[in-house]
Amino acid sequence: MDSQTLSSKRRFVHNLASLLGGEGAHRVSRLLSIMLIARALGVEEYGTMVFVGLCHETFRSLSRLAGGSLIIQCRDDDLKWMCENAGALNWGLALVTVILQCTLAELIAVYFEQPSVAFLLQVLSISHLLYPLVMVRVNLLHRHQALKKFALLSTLCVVVEDLSCALVAIYTENAWCVVVAKISSALLWCVLFYRYTEHDYPVKFDISHSLRLLKTSSRVFVSEICKQLRSSCDVFIAARVLGPEAFGLYSFARNAAIGIAQSLGNAYIHALYPHLTKLVQARQAGKGLLNAYGFALLISSLFFIQSLAAEFYVPLLFGEKWQAASTLVALLCFASVAILLLDTSLLFQRCLSRFTRELIIQASVLIGLCASLLYSDVRTADEFARTFVLSLAFLSIMVMSSSAISLLTLRHLGGRYEYE
């Protein structure tokens, strides 16, 4: 192992440790907030809160079109114009997102038969105008692998979001808690990352560079949209096919299982991205992917432990009214394993700059998952969760097999990896 590879591996482990430390605090705050919210809100109100939050995050994924992932892995020669034009695109996309969310809020409320969510989504859309202030700064932190600082600042924001959501839920006993929490978190995110990060790239709009950035990032953007929809499609479909009480029960179980477990998975993916990119550039893609799967399985062992303990900690921590959700929580913990392995496989395609291949896989997984949930004759929350986990596991195995086959046919041509 050469010194550059060893240094990259040490930095990856250091960054992963920093992010996992931050996500440990996130995990505690998320658990505490779920405990308080579960005791404060009724089953139907809980479902409304989760639904509004996921709708908002789906609209927020529009920001991926500005090319943040390209800033992380672009050549040094391209960095200046990418940062300048990404800043301008961020503001344009923020305005478009606000208009879309406000316009579609009424239609969403009618389609899902939840009239109370329209005004909540419209108020929450304001937060989109805050993130462009610091988005390029956050991308540069990832590019330079300064993830210890990112972990600290983002953890503070997440803890504030979780605890403010819980406190407002206690005093209002309705879904407005998610609106207050997300706006508070967005404000703090901008203040912290603007105050404690630096970059020397002014906002600039150059039509040729912006079009080039949009052309390249559009595939990443559509892939991110598919990923966001894949991570929330079960909630949207459950809102349609399950009754209000069953949907609220499923939403709680999903939050208590995937919501808590996925924080660790997200930390791992954040740390893995720059590290795997470096290994691909050093012509060690195969070794990088095998190590990535190894770490992913190690983290997944925590999800298995969480599943085994669900029958005990759900009624103890969240109250007896959620006792019926214990089996759901245990089952949905296994979905976190499939999600982590799936995200690792797809990140490998992105690091190889195989954006079209990544997009095709993301879209295929989304279509397959939606089809299995829509066309299965599910009538209860338990049946819905079982179908979701089995479908996700099958799709994850298929994608991992595809990555393994691609790796076997990988060859190096002219400084870039190409597939035969």
What burial class does residue 320 get, using C-beta atoms within 10 Å of its C-beta: 0-12 exposed, 13-18 middle, 19+ buried?
A: exposed
Give the SS3 label for residue 198. Answer: coil
E strands, 134-252, are none
Per-residue pLDDT at 7: 56
CA neighbor of 243 nearest in space, from 384, 399, 127, 87: 384
- The span from the CA of 344 to the CA of 145, in Å, is 18
Cβ of 2: how many Cβ atoms within 10 Å? Answer: 9
Q: Which two tokens stand for residue 308?
A: 């085994």
Dihedral angle, C-alpha 347, 349, 353, 359, nearest 10 ° = -90
- What is the 8-class DSSP label of residue 257? I
CA neighbor of 88 nearest in space, from 231, 241, 204, 220: 204
- What is the Cβ-side half-sphere exposure of residue 411, based on CA atoms within 13 angstroms? 5
Asked whether the beta carbons of 270 and 150 are under 8 A apart, the reply is yes
Instruction: Please count the residues of the chain.
Output: 420
Which bin fits 382, alpha (ψ -120 to 50), beta or left (φ > 0)? alpha
User: Which pTM does this prediction carry?
Assistant: 0.76
Per-residue pLDDT at 108: 93
Q: Determine phi and psi for 202, rounding to 5 degrees.
A: -70, 160
- What is the 8-class DSSP label of residue 66? G
Per-residue pLDDT at 23: 61
Per-residue pLDDT at 33: 84
First-to-last CA distance in the chain? Answer: 28
pLDDT tens, per residue, the chain with 420 residues: 455 554 555 666 665 665 666 566 666 777 788 888 888 888 888 889 989 998 998 888 876 665 666 777 777 777 777 777 777 888 888 899 999 999 999 999 999 888 889 999 999 999 999 988 888 888 888 777 777 788 788 888 888 998 899 999 998 888 899 999 999 999 999 999 888 777 667 777 777 767 777 776 677 677 778 888 888 899 999 988 888 888 888 988 888 888 766 777 777 777 777 777 777 776 776 777 777 888 888 888 888 888 888 888 888 888 777 888 888 999 998 998 999 889 888 888 877 777 788 888 888 999 999 999 988 878 788 999 999 999 999 999 998 887 777 666 654 434 444 433
Q: Which two tokens stand for residue 416?
A: 């870039």
